[in-house]
Amino acid sequence: MHDSQQTALLIRWLERGRAWLDELQTPAGLHASSASDHYDALFGRDTLWSMLLVLEAARLRPTDQALASWAGEFAAQGLQALAATQGTTERDENEEQPGKIIHEYWPEPRRWPEGSWPLWEGRYYGSVDATYLFLIAAARVWQQIKGGQQLIEQLWPHILAALNWTLKYGDVDDDGLVEVLPRQPRGLGLRNQVWKDSNDALLLEDGALPEPPIAWVELQGYALAAFREMRPLLQEAGAEAALLRELEERSERLRRGLLRFWLPTEQCPAMALSPEKQAIPLVASNMGHLLWCSALEEPYASQTAERLLKPDLLTSWGVRTLSRSSYAFDPYSYHRGTVWPFDNAIIAAAFWHMGRRHQARLIGQRLLEALVLFDSPVELYCVLPPEWILSPPTGGSEVLAVYTRACKVQAWTAAAVMLVTAQLLADAG
Residue 425 is inside which H or E element, if any?
A: helix 411-428
pLDDT higher than threshold 80 for residue 429:
no
pLDDT number for residue 280: 98
* 401-to-68, 265, 374 alpha-carbon distances in Å: 35, 32, 10
17 in Cβ contact with 58 (< 8 Å): no
Give the pLDDT confidence score for residue 109 in this predicted structure.
63
* pLDDT score at 114: 67
Read off the pLDDT of each residue in 340-351 and give the average, rounded to a whole number: 99
Amino acid at 183: R
What pLDDT digit, counting tens, does each position of 164-183 carry? Answer: 999 999 999 999 999 999 99
49, 127 contact by CB (below 8 A): no
Residue 309 and residue 315: Cα distance in Å, rounded?
A: 9
Under a CB-based contact definition with an 8 Å cutoff, are residues 343 and 321 in contact?
Answer: yes
DSSP letter (8 states) at residue 112: S
| Residue 383, SS3 per DSSP | strand
Count of other CB atoms within 10 angstroms of residue 90: 12
Q: Measure the CA angle with vertex 402, ends 1 and 313; round to 5°.
A: 75
Cα–Cα distance between 49 and 47 in angstroms, integer?
A: 6
- pLDDT: is 109 or 278 the higher one? 278
Model pLDDT for residues 195-248, shown as the tens digit of each residue: 999 999 999 999 999 999 999 999 999 999 999 999 999 999 999 999 999 999
- For residue 358, CA distances in Å to 94, 309, 319, 349, 354 come to 44, 12, 15, 12, 11
Tell me the domain boundaries of the chain: 1-26+311-429
* Residue 214, helix vs strand vs coil: strand
- 267 vs 128: CA distance, rounded Å: 27
Confidence label for 102 from pLDDT (cuts 50, 70 and 90): very high
Look at 256-270, 346-360, 381-395 and tell me which has the smallest mean pLDDT: 381-395
What three-state secondary structure class fits 45? helix
The DSSP string of 69-95 is: HHHHHHHHHHHHHHHHT---S-BGGGT
Mean local confidence (pLDDT), 86-113: 91
**Cβ neighbours around 205 below 10 Å, total:** 11
**How much is the mean pLDDT over the chain?**
96
Give how far the C-alpha of residue 204 lies from the chain's centroid of Cα atoms, to the nearest Å.
23
Q: How many CA atoms lie within 13 A of 29 on its CB side?
A: 30
Q: Kindly tell me if the per-residue pLDDT of 281 is higher than 70.
A: yes
Enumerate residues 6+ apart whose C-beta is below 8 A from 307.
266, 267, 268, 283, 287, 313
User: What percent of the chain has pLDDT above 90?
Assistant: 93
pLDDT at 111: 67
d(CA 204, CA 15): 43
Q: How far is CA 112 from CA 33, 85, 193, 249, in A?
A: 17, 19, 20, 43
- Determine the pLDDT at residue 395: 81
Backbone angles phi, psi at 372, to 5 degrees: -65, -40
Instruction: Identify the H or E element spanning 376.
Output: none
The pLDDT > 70 percentage for the chain reads 97
pLDDT of 107 reads 85
Q: How far apart are CA 132 and CA 137, in angstroms?
A: 9
Contact of 179 with 169, CB cutoff 8 Å:
no
User: Looking at the whole model, is its pTM more than 0.85?
Assistant: yes
Mean pLDDT of 326-338: 98
Give the DSSP H/E element, type plus range, for residue 208: none
CA separation for the pair 327, 320 (Å, rounded): 14
1 or 337, which is more confident: 337
pLDDT in tens, 2-61: 588 889 999 999 999 999 999 999 999 999 999 999 899 999 999 999 999 999 999 999
CA-closest candidate to residue 194, choices 128, 134, 123: 128
